[in-house]
Amino acid sequence: MISLSGITKTYGAVTALCNIDLTVNRAEILALAGENGSGKSTLVKILSGVVVPDSGTIRIEGKPVAFHSPLEALDQGIALVAQELTVLPHLPVYENVMLPFVRHRTRRLVSRSNLVARTTQILDELGVQIDPYLPVSRLGPVQQTFVEIAKALVVEPKLLILDEATSRLGEKEVDFLLALIKRLQARGLSTVMITHRIIEMTSTADRAVVLRDGAFAGELPQERLREHELVNLMVGREIVRRTKDYAVSAAAPRLSVEDLQLAGTHKRLTLDVQVGEIVGLAGLVGAGRTELLEALAGVRRVAGGVVTVDGARVPVNNPRRAVLCGLALVPEDRHTQGLIITDSIYENYELGAVPWLGFVNRTRGRLRTRTAMARFGVKTSNVLAPVTSLSGGNQQKVVIARALSKNPSVLLLDEPTRGVDIGARDDIYQIIEEQARNGMAVLLASSDLVEILGICDRVLVMHEGEVVGDLRGDLISEHNIALLSAGGKLESHVYAH
């Protein structure tokens, strides 16, 4: 139905895509897989008119087409939900959702109440309730993502492209979205899905195409669409699971939190993290994990409670003092909180390293940046390039590298490997473990159970703003985490203060 042939795209010295052929059939769900920087986003941007290729042809039903803008692609029924949020923050939800529809599907005047009604209907289909009059800036990343998806669906596309759309969503929302795609498939919709969660591909896609370093690496039909085969194609090597080779000290806690009360709530949070311990924070979206991490980092208002790092009290509601006391946060949303999009990789990295020295040695700074990028495996030829020239996963590595550059005693990670591929994840896990071995306390919020089960020594489960479980040893299981997250109770006694 839609096919690309001989697509090549270069950015300066970087070949993002080299001679790619791809066909998307009618009513097919195609997974596009590959490690960070392999060219997935570039390919779907070409497919949706955001980026013009250097060479190659796009055909729809056999006829060559050339897109010069996303609107031209939209007219042909191709809608993209981009990896980066594109909603306009100051506009209300319904205007964001209906924008493409109003501009390109109708010349007639449409009443506001109609637009609102249609918006509500689409959001209903997506299984979310969002006030259509709210400005998008007031929504969290999950809701903003649904606004993006609604905006793509409103034009009733033939081809829906989801570039990491699920990465900002929790498990329940992902299930709902994937079920919706399947329902729309029955009505003839084709979908190209990009996701780093392999289970989403194996459970939903009819076929997977794998890219590696901008080239076609292979293709898997549904019957061969298994984790093992996908990973091998993506990475081109086998991934080995790490095992921990040191014990967590049970001396005085590195981080201790007592009766922390967030502004506007009456719930109190008490927890601690030992020297060298990696503690997972599990729970559903909205359980309060991000809020807790933000409160600890001083960026969310706290009404009461005591936070100490190595026994020294950390003044709350003060992000700068939190940093000076050894707390570093890697925020959930790298675009609004983590990176300054207009700046270079170097400037973003060094942001955390030197600002108060006054005199900045740029040459040494660049060298530091280069060393750090090499250590994290960030593929870039030039650290002075804008940070947006990096792929999504590589941008995330810059944020983590920067947090670690401050040598924190306590590292607060909020969904650190969202959008990061398996190979790079492994690098990040190794770095986290290395830091923990050297005594750093790590508090890691993640919706990815594989991640929680894989690297955490202990798991705290949150539900509706409270810590409802403290799982250790054999009690750390997918079953127990899911049960507690959903508000259930374990039979055995697992939590007491």
Contact between residue 195 and residue 31 where contact means Cβ atoms under 8 Å apart: yes
Residue from 22, 29, 37, 41 touching Mg ion (CB under 5 A): that is 41
Distance CA 149, CA 157 (A): 11
Contact between residue 456 and residue 424 where contact means Cβ atoms under 8 Å apart: no
Q: Report the residue number, 392 or 408, with the smaller CB distance to Mg ion.
A: 392
Size of the site for ligand ATP (CB under 6 A): 20
* Chosen from ligand ATP, Mg ion, none, partner binding at 226 (C-beta under 5 to 8 Å by type): none
Tell whether the torsion through CA atoms of 83, 87, 93 and 95 is positive or negative: negative
Q: Report the residue number, 41 or 485, with the smaller CB distance to Mg ion.
A: 41
Residue 392 binds ligand ATP (CB under 6 A): yes
| Torsion-angle region of 308 (φ positive above 0: left; ψ -120 to 50: alpha; else: beta) | beta
Beta bridge partners of 135: 92
Residue from 119, 185, 391, 409 touching ligand ATP (CB under 6 A): that is 391
Residue from 22, 29, 31, 41 touching ligand ATP (CB under 6 A): that is 41
**Near ligand ATP in 395-424, by CB under 6 A:** 421
Q: Report the residue number, 302 or 330, with the smaller CB distance to ligand ATP.
A: 330
Distance CA 184, CA 81 (A): 16
Selected range binding ligand ATP among 37-45, 130-138, 437-445, 481-489, rule: CB under 6 A: 37-45
Q: Report the residue number, 203 or 381, with the smaller CB distance to ligand ATP.
A: 381
Tell whether the torsion through CA atoms of 329, 332, 337 and 342 is positive or negative: positive
* Chosen from Mg ion, ligand ATP, none, partner binding at 204 (C-beta under 5 to 8 Å by type): none
CB of 116 to ligand ATP, least distance (A): 34
Contact between residue 27 and residue 20 where contact means Cβ atoms under 8 Å apart: no
* Chosen from ligand ATP, Mg ion, none, partner binding at 18 (C-beta under 5 to 8 Å by type): none
Q: Report the residue number, 232 or 261, with the smaller CB distance to ligand ATP.
A: 232
Local structure of 201: helix, strand or coil: helix
Residue 86 binds ligand ATP (CB under 6 A): no
Question: What is the distance in angstroms between the CA of the first residue and the CA of the last residue of the chain?
Answer: 61
Residue from 38, 48, 76, 83 touching Mg ion (CB under 5 A): that is 83
Q: Which amino acid is at 342?
A: T
For the sheet with 159-163, list strands across it.
Answer: 78-81, 159-163, 190-194, 29-34, 207-212, 215-221
Residue from 37, 49, 100, 288 touching ligand ATP (CB under 6 A): that is 37
Selected range binding ligand ATP among 39-47, 57-65, 364-372, 397-405, rule: CB under 6 A: 39-47
CB of 473 to Mg ion, least distance (A): 38
Sole residue written with tokens 């084709």: 190
Q: Judging by DSSP bridges, how do beta strands 458-463 and 278-282 pair with one another?
A: parallel
Distance CA 279, CA 64 (A): 54
The contact set with ligand ATP (CB under 6 A) reads 11, 14, 16, 34, 36-42, 83, 379, 389-394, 421
